[in-house]
Structure 1
Amino acid sequence: MRIGYFLSSEELTPAEIIEQAKGAERAGFSALWISDHYHPWVDAQGQSSFVWSMIGALSQATSLPITTAVTCPTVRIHPAVIAQAAATSAVLTGGRFRLGVGTGEALNEHIFGDAWPEADVRLEMLEEAVAIMRELWKGGVVSHRGKHYTVENARIYTLPEQPIEVLVSGFGPKAVDLAARIGDGYVSTMPDGDLVARFREHGGGAKVAQAGFKAAFADTEEEGARIAYEKWPNAGVPGELSQVLPSPKHFEQASELVTQDMVKKAFVCGNDPRAHLEMIDTYAKAGFDEVYVANTGPHWQGLFDLYAKHVLS
């Protein structure tokens, strides 16, 4: 299994993103995920840099492949603009860029006051957006008048030599079916073997399946759990709330119902390499090809040292 590192834009400053990416490469991680947010989930995370600026910087700072986990190309930014951003990123990285996409969250996409569509409409928008981007990546002049988007006489001139892979996020059957139908791969954060099997059986075949999980490295498991609860209480927010709540304050309110033990179950806390290996094995048994770990809190170098010695060697 390929093991990568997940750069949480919601928690890290731009300088920390670059520093951790370099550290991940030194430690032996084989690839990078980076989140694409306008807001953090809660104010305690405190950051949210523009992902396309960061990918440009990362392209010059490391030689690792980079995947957005994930970009929503439907509301906040028009898919024709995302197509240009992704093409430039692929050129800068020498083809080491993959575009992870999903239907997004109101948290990031509501900022212009547009209505937040229901899930079925968001999936429909995503399918049209991906089709527009792929047409633009062919290099010709594109005009498109669809149900959700209009493109008029657009052409992307700066293009990579190879087509950009589009990996599609999915947490329910309809989204997984869409990923299988239109995606070059599948993205998730849950070790759900049934969803991976559905992706493969409904058209995904042997295409790559990526997943990510969070860790909180610390001297003890309890200290790691405390850090995780302080920074990511939203990890315990259930159901579709993560897609429909519109602001960090709303997530903070929902997180008042979340306990530290609930967050602890979603993280690998502490410094025991066996816990990390067990989590990775859970994703491997679920059928994922790649897994990406994010460290929350200040002790990221400890996590890199642990992985270099006990996981990646």
Structure 2
Amino acid sequence: MTEFGYFLSCEEFTPAELVEQARLAERAGFTRLAISDHFHPWNDAQGSSPFVWGVIGALSQAVPLPVTTLVTCPTVRLHPAVTAQAAATADVQLAGGLRLGVGTGEALNEHVLGDRWPPYEVRAEMLAEAVAVLRELFTGEVVSHRGAHYTVENARLYTPPKDGRLPVYVSAFGPKAAERAAEYADGLVTMGPDTELIGRYRAAGGRGPVIGGLKVCWSADRERAVKTAHRLWPSELLPGELAQVLPTPRHFEQATELVTEEMVGQSVTCGDDPEEHLDRLRSYVGAGFDEVYVGQIGPEQEGFFDFYRERILPQAA
């Protein structure tokens, strides 16, 4: 049975707002939380980007819901050993409720220390090695590692994950990436309801849950919702690898000048028609997703949570 969670967008909201949204999500009937992990927002209009591990610590004291990062990049900006310590501490704070979603990342966030931004094939190798390092450290044993991309010397997590291990879900948006993820992931992260991609993951031996998310913009005024979604999240409609290679919010703003309100209105669920929201969620259920995370775009948060509590979640499964 598919579980529905709420997606907390660090790019758009302050830490205090994210914690309040988590409380509202629990009251509305969402059973899980996901949270983005960025250094920069996608554009200046979003206007926020707190350090995810600090926010997760606050969430652990506010609500009892499990939290999944969607997704963390443990390869460039943060060394996998540092990521392992952060994730293990968060898991302890969440009483074993952290799920670490990881991916190859975006230049937008990972270039900030001046490191070279490698091509995808190299980034995929780095991610696989980073996950191996993470898993070694999660045991709480002393770890020394000398690999193609990372060195760890005499490192031990004295605050390991609650159960001595922590599920690592791997993000994939194409069939080859899904097959590669199947080799070592505890679950698959992919955003759209792509049955072929999920099938490739399973056929390659991929185990664990399939999880993903979507953004909607609830409002009693659909036209206003479309304008809000267009102002804040036109980057959702960028094609190909642009989201992985553009280095600054300004570059995203330039690229999304080609995204129109009409395009957003056709692609993003906007307004307050229950059937549109339900149809979108059911497309994920039908594709075989185990967990689906919904994020509300813009300021009308309380209206969104009331709407989902009364009109959507009771019928979505």
TM-score if structure 1 supplies the norm length? Answer: 0.98
2 CA distance for matches of 1:181 and 1:57? 34
Amino acid in the other structure paired with 2:175: P
Contact 1:197–1:287 at 8 Å: present in 2 too?
Answer: no
State the match for 2:281 in structure 1: 280
Report 1:16-165 matches (<5 A). Answer: 16-162=17-163, 163-165=165-167
> Any gaps of 5 or more consecutive residues in structure 2?
none
Task: Tell me the number of residue pairs that the alignment of Structure 1 and Structure 2 aligns.
Answer: 312
3-state secondary structure, aligned to 1:303? helix
3-state secondary structure, aligned to 1:198? helix
| Post-superposition offset of 1:276 | 1.0
1:253-310 deviation line (CA, Å, top 9, x unaligned): 0001111122223321011111111001111111111111000111111111111111
Contact 1:23–1:304 at 8 Å: present in 2 too?
Answer: yes
Contact 1:214–1:266 at 8 Å: present in 2 too?
Answer: no
2 CA distance for matches of 1:112 and 1:74? 12
3-state secondary structure, aligned to 1:204? coil
Contact 1:235–1:266 at 8 Å: present in 2 too?
Answer: no
State the match for 1:175 in structure 2: 177
| Post-superposition offset of 1:63 | 0.5
1:69-109 deviation line (CA, Å, top 9, x unaligned): 00000000000000011100110000011000000000000
State the match for 1:250 in structure 2: 251
1 CA distance for matches of 2:155 and 2:50? 28
Amino acid in the other structure paired with 2:48: Q
| Post-superposition offset of 1:192 | 0.7
| Post-superposition offset of 1:2 | 0.5
2 CA distance for matches of 1:234 and 1:256? 10
1 CA distance for matches of 2:266 and 2:16? 30
| Post-superposition offset of 1:201 | 1.0
Give the aligned CA root-mean-square deviation in angstroms.
Answer: 0.9
Report 1:294-305 matches (<5 A). Answer: 294-305=295-306
State the match for 2:233 in structure 1: 232
3-state secondary structure, aligned to 2:210? strand
Contact 1:218–1:299 at 8 Å: present in 2 too?
Answer: yes
| Post-superposition offset of 1:221 | 2.0
2 CA distance for matches of 1:247 and 1:175? 25
2 CA distance for matches of 1:287 and 1:41? 29
Report 1:256-271 matches (<5 A). Answer: 256-271=257-272
3-state secondary structure, aligned to 2:92? helix
Q: Which runs of 4+ in 1 moved over 6 A?
A: none
Q: Greater shift after overlay, 220-229 or 49-58?
A: 220-229
2 CA distance for matches of 1:61 and 1:214? 23
> Any gaps of 5 or more consecutive residues in structure 1?
none
2 CA distance for matches of 1:210 and 1:148? 28
1:35-87 deviation line (CA, Å, top 9, x unaligned): 00000000000000000000000000011110000000000000000001110
1 CA distance for matches of 2:161 and 2:128? 22
2 CA distance for matches of 1:68 and 1:160? 15
1:184-219 deviation line (CA, Å, top 9, x unaligned): 1011111111111111111114x1000100011111
State the match for 2:203 in structure 1: 201
Choose which of 194, 201, 210 in structure 2 pairs with 1:192: 194
What fraction of aligned residue pairs are identical, expressed as a percent? 58
